[in-house]
A = this chain, B = another copy of it.
């Protein structure tokens, strides 16, 4: 499988950055769900460029048209297709540099995979712009999960060397609050610190990355599979489709290796006839299956590859060394815009597992 993911909820993505349009087909949605398009717009806006001084100044109007699968404002249960048309862009500049492989980008690997036939303009199908349809699909999935009282939200855990060590209180209120922030952090004052760092690297033509922490609350115990569709497998599969993601960890993650079993084993207890764990080092997942505690995972986002300096690279048409100066306006840090995309990835993975277990008619 390539552009299609999911077993029961199938998401099929298409488009190139400078083609006619990008979009997504979502198959397997339960029928009869009233879609809140405002919610989708809010999520889309969080990802869209041009939101603040630290994002690219390009204006992309990510307005979508729903072509199918929605009737009288409700899902029909048949495939829902959303199309985001691309605006006319001046693509000529790309022809001049098309043979120069931009370091950190997919120019070279895309060239090899597609034998040079892929659309190289603006990254083509590899463009970060393709996260817009992914986010659209995720926003639909999030709404359906919320009917089941499941809420997903994320925050910026760190940017470069600045870390927000505050811990959220994982409630519906807190998660919605994070989603309403265009720069979702918890510790007061840390936003300014992070923005300052980003501005600084921006002025230097440099870039930075960071870590996103994502939360999913109120997932009942029992979703996921031991082999091979563990909750971690499903989430990581989609998250690693997001450009720039280089790592994922669940619960205490890599840090758990710094502790002993006695320190990190999550002990069970009963409260109000519900089974809970005192700690949540496992991030809500045991043996690949949800245990009813919040799902918590962190995602590492690398520094943006487009940097304003002379870089060594190759000219693939001549197979010789050359240098490249990328011009244009680029995000110095993609982390804030990636937060809702990671939320979407988690929503798609979980809704798929839920639909598989509970069936297609559960509303």
Number of this chain's copies in the complex: 4
**Residues of chain B lying within 8 A (CB to CB) of residue A237:** 228, 233-234, 236-237
CB distance from A128 to the nearest CB of B (A): 11
Top 6 nearest A-B pairs (CB, nearest first) are A106-B287, A247-B249, A359-B359, A207-B261, A109-B289, A261-B303
Please judge, given known A-B contacts A10-B12, A260-B160, A357-B359, whether A78 and B27 are in contact too, CB under 8 Å. no
Report whether B247 and A21 are in contact in the complex, using a CB–CB cutoff of 8 Å.
no
**Residues of chain B lying within 8 A (CB to CB) of residue A122:** none
C-alpha spacing A250/B247, complex, angstroms? 6
In this assembly, does A347 line the interface, its C-beta being within 8 Å of a C-beta of chain B? no
Report whether A247 and B246 are in contact in the complex, using a CB–CB cutoff of 8 Å.
no
Q: A14's contact among B80, B206, B290, by CB below 8 Å, is which? A: B80
Among listed A52-60, A166-174, A187-195, A264-272, interface-contacting one:
A264-272
Offer 29 A-B interface pairs, CB within 8 angstroms, sorted by A. Answer: A1-B7, A2-B28, A3-B25, A3-B227, A3-B228, A8-B356, A10-B12, A15-B67, A15-B81, A19-B68, A25-B25, A31-B115, A32-B114, A75-B117, A109-B289, A110-B287, A113-B223, A125-B227, A130-B226, A158-B257, A159-B257, A209-B261, A233-B237, A233-B241, A246-B252, A246-B256, A265-B307, A269-B312, A270-B321
**Residues of chain B lying within 8 A (CB to CB) of residue A21:** 67-68, 81
Report whether A228 and B20 are in contact in the complex, using a CB–CB cutoff of 8 Å.
no
In this assembly, does A282 line the interface, its C-beta being within 8 Å of a C-beta of chain B? yes
**Residues of chain B lying within 8 A (CB to CB) of residue A281:** 302
In this assembly, does A145 line the interface, its C-beta being within 8 Å of a C-beta of chain B? no
By the criterion of a CB under 8 Å from any partner CB, how many residues of chain A are at the interface? 153
**Residues of chain B lying within 8 A (CB to CB) of residue A67:** 14-15, 19-21, 23, 83
C-alpha spacing A356/B7, complex, angstroms? 10
C-alpha spacing A27/B305, complex, angstroms? 28
C-alpha spacing A22/B25, complex, angstroms? 11
Report whether B319 and A270 are in contact in the complex, using a CB–CB cutoff of 8 Å.
yes
**Residues of chain B lying within 8 A (CB to CB) of residue A31:** 114-115, 117-118
Report whether A226 and B126 are in contact in the complex, using a CB–CB cutoff of 8 Å.
yes
In the complex, the chain B residue whose C-beta lies closest to that of A271 is B321
Report whether A125 and B78 are in contact in the complex, using a CB–CB cutoff of 8 Å.
yes
Please judge, given known A-B contacts A74-B117, A232-B245, A289-B110, whether A260 and B1 are in contact too, CB under 8 Å. no
**Residues of chain B lying within 8 A (CB to CB) of residue A240:** 230, 232-233, 236, 288
Q: A356's contact among B12, B305, B360, by CB below 8 Å, is which? A: B360
Q: Which residues in window 219-244 of A have CB below 8 A to B? A: 221-230, 232-234, 236-238, 240-241, 243
In this assembly, does A178 line the interface, its C-beta being within 8 Å of a C-beta of chain B? no
Report whether B25 and A114 are in contact in the complex, using a CB–CB cutoff of 8 Å.
no
Please judge, given known A-B contacts A71-B118, A226-B126, A233-B240, whether A13 and B257 are in contact too, CB under 8 Å. no
